[in-house]
Structure 1
Amino acid sequence: MPSDHPDAPGTLGGDTVSVALHREELRVGTRVVDTGRGVRLHKSVSEHPHPIDETLLYDELDVRHVIIDKIVPLSQAPCTRQEGDTLIVPVVEEVLVTERRLRIKEEVHITRIQRSRTQSGTVMLRAEDVLVERFDEGPHKEASSTIRR
């Protein structure tokens, strides 16, 4: 309602002035939109030979029997021992004499010899191929592309 006073708000020298106020609002969301286009995936697995050439390490054991034939007292019974790469395992037996003693019959010497050899061959590796086919139910043409992993 306009005021009769010339200096009142909303009036200009007796004329009424209207000011329009606007306020913008933003609403963010998602929605499903049918574009009329479809995608079809074709996946296949193929095998491809892959040559290998690797060096393999393996151990070989050299086992020898060494005759000792020595009588020792029970208190000096020999133990298994390691000398370098060779493991020595004493083999003893009891023998009956006027007193009991151990006779070292033999020792088994086991030596580790590390060797290498080259192993060649072919292994089969698998790869997946995916064909992506895009199509539209409308008048547009079909398009396809291949993805390889």
Structure 2
Amino acid sequence: MESAPLPLAVVVTTDGFRGVVDSEVLPLAEQPAVAVRFEHGERLIIPVNFLDPQQDGTYVLNMNFAEVHTRWQEVPSRTETLTIPVTEERLVRQKRKVETGRVRVTKRVSTHVEQVDQPLVQETVHVERVVVNRPVDEPVPARHEGDTLIIPVFEETLVVRKQLVLKEELRVTRRRTESHRPQQVTLRREEVSVERLPSRAQQATDLEQPDV
């Protein structure tokens, strides 16, 4: 008893072109590629993993006929050696940088005026001449009386005999006074504010969202 012939598998492109898979290569799941004869007479070798099975038994080829004809060559004869492309999917790992946010740093310089009251010390000298006119046998050295420096001033006078006379003394007193001279001094101070900005991806998402 002869077995019943297998049904022909129909392949349909996205632009409606139909083709039939050679019956001798069924079932398709066991083949890496199959020969499909389209309604215009072209016979092309198509990898099975490009055929998407449907519930009605047909297979959808997710490209138009022009792309199919350009990608896979026509088979002129069944007796010739066929070159069947074997493809596989591989996982490619890639990393990319995603901007999650931006930070804007603003520095502002402000000025303010402060009152400066710093005491200043100033010394003055008061010179007082005191007449003495007292004869001395030898020069008298300078001396201090408190804050006053006493400097002797001598001269020689002509008498019956030459005699050293203390003519006068200079009383030099150092006085210390303190005065306040307020001044205005300008000081600078920096203030920094940090503002967090959304990323470019977030800005694009906000622009795509419609206003409610």
For Structure 1 versus Structure 2, the TM-score category normalised by the shorter chain is: 0.5 to 0.7
> In structure 2, how many angstroms separate the alpha carbons of the residues matched to 1:100 and 1:39?
98
Q: Give 1:88 shift.
A: 0.6
Q: Which residue in 2 is equivalent to 1:17? A: none
Instruction: Render the CA deviation track for 1:98-135: whole Å, top value 9, x for unaligned.
Output: 54432222211111233333332322222223344555
Determine whether 1:80 maps to 2:142.
yes
Contact 2:120–2:180 (Cα < 8 Å) also in 1: yes
Indicate the structure with greater helix content.
2
> In structure 1, how many angstroms separate the alpha carbons of the residues matched to 2:155 and 2:98?
92
Indicate the structure with greater strand content.
1
> In structure 2, how many angstroms separate the alpha carbons of the residues matched to 1:72 and 1:106?
12
Gaps of 5+ in 1: 1-32, 142-149
Q: Which residue in 2 is equivalent to 1:93? A: 155
Out of 114, 121, 134, which is 1:70 matched to? 134
Q: Bigger radius of gyration, 1 or 2?
A: 2
> In structure 2, how many angstroms separate the alpha carbons of the residues matched to 1:41 and 1:67?
79
> In structure 2, how many angstroms separate the alpha carbons of the residues matched to 1:124 and 1:58?
26
Out of 114, 121, 139, which is 2:201 matched to? 139
Change in CA separation of 1:45 and 1:104 when aligned onto 2, cut-off 3 Å: farther
TM-score for the superposition, normalised by structure 2: 0.40
Q: 1:15-30 counterparts in 2 under 5 A?
A: none
Q: Which residue in 2 is equivalent to 1:48? A: 112
Paired amino acid for 1:48: H
> In structure 2, how many angstroms separate the alpha carbons of the residues matched to 1:116 and 1:93?
39
Q: Which residue in 2 is equivalent to 1:118? A: 180
Identity within the alignment, %: 36
Pairwise CA RMSD:
3.2
> In structure 2, how many angstroms separate the alpha carbons of the residues matched to 1:45 and 1:94?
74
SS at match of 1:139: helix
Change in CA separation of 1:41 and 1:102 when aligned onto 2, cut-off 3 Å: farther
Change in CA separation of 1:129 and 1:73 when aligned onto 2, cut-off 3 Å: same
Tell me the matched-pair count. 107
